Amino acid sequence: MELTYQGQLTPWLQLQPDAQFVFDPGGGILDPNNSIHVLRDEIVAGVRTNVTF
Protein backbone atom coordinates (compact mmCIF):
# COMPACT_ATOMS: atom_id res chain seq x y z
CA MET A 1 0.00 0.00 0.00
CA GLU A 2 1.20 3.50 -0.67
CA LEU A 3 0.15 6.88 0.69
CA THR A 4 1.39 10.08 -0.91
CA TYR A 5 0.45 13.75 -1.03
CA GLN A 6 1.91 16.66 -2.98
CA GLY A 7 1.75 20.14 -1.49
CA GLN A 8 2.64 23.46 -3.08
CA LEU A 9 4.50 25.30 -0.30
CA THR A 10 5.54 28.34 -2.36
CA PRO A 11 5.14 29.23 -6.05
CA TRP A 12 8.55 27.61 -6.66
CA LEU A 13 8.62 24.72 -4.12
CA GLN A 14 6.61 21.49 -3.98
CA LEU A 15 6.96 18.87 -1.25
CA GLN A 16 5.73 15.30 -1.63
CA PRO A 17 5.93 12.95 1.37
CA ASP A 18 5.47 9.26 0.67
CA ALA A 19 4.84 6.24 2.91
CA GLN A 20 4.70 2.62 1.76
CA PHE A 21 3.71 -0.51 3.67
CA VAL A 22 5.20 -3.69 2.20
CA PHE A 23 3.51 -6.98 3.10
CA ASP A 24 5.87 -9.96 3.33
CA PRO A 25 8.77 -8.30 1.45
CA GLY A 26 10.96 -11.40 1.32
CA GLY A 27 8.29 -13.90 0.40
CA GLY A 28 9.10 -15.94 3.49
CA ILE A 29 12.92 -15.91 3.29
CA LEU A 30 14.95 -15.99 6.49
CA ASP A 31 16.19 -12.77 8.07
CA PRO A 32 19.94 -12.49 7.24
CA ASN A 33 20.60 -11.02 10.72
CA ASN A 34 18.64 -13.73 12.57
CA SER A 35 18.31 -17.01 10.68
CA ILE A 36 15.57 -18.27 13.02
CA HIS A 37 13.00 -15.63 11.93
CA VAL A 38 11.55 -14.73 8.53
CA LEU A 39 11.47 -11.14 7.30
CA ARG A 40 8.50 -9.16 8.63
CA ASP A 41 6.29 -6.52 7.02
CA GLU A 42 8.09 -3.21 6.47
CA ILE A 43 7.31 0.50 6.32
CA VAL A 44 9.26 2.72 3.91
CA ALA A 45 9.08 6.52 4.08
CA GLY A 46 10.52 9.24 1.87
CA VAL A 47 10.19 12.84 0.75
CA ARG A 48 10.46 14.29 -2.72
CA THR A 49 11.04 17.98 -3.41
CA ASN A 50 10.56 19.92 -6.67
CA VAL A 51 12.21 23.31 -7.06
CA THR A 52 11.41 25.50 -10.06
CA PHE A 53 13.74 28.32 -11.08
Q: Which residues contact 5 (CB under 8 A, 6 or more apart)?
A: 16, 17
CA 27 to chain centre: 18
pLDDT at 25 over 90: no
- What local confidence, expressed as pLDDT, does residue 34 receive? 86
Phi, psi of 8 (to 5 degrees): -90, 105
The mean pLDDT value for 8-35 works out to 91
The mean pLDDT value for 34-42 works out to 86
* 3-state helix/strand/coil string of 1-53: CEEECCEEEECCEEEEEEEEEECCCCCCCEECCEEEEECCCEEEEEEEEEECC
pLDDT at 10 over 90: yes
- What local confidence, expressed as pLDDT, does residue 22 receive? 93
- What local confidence, expressed as pLDDT, does residue 11 receive? 95
Which pLDDT band, with edges at 50, 70 and 90, does 2 fall under? very high
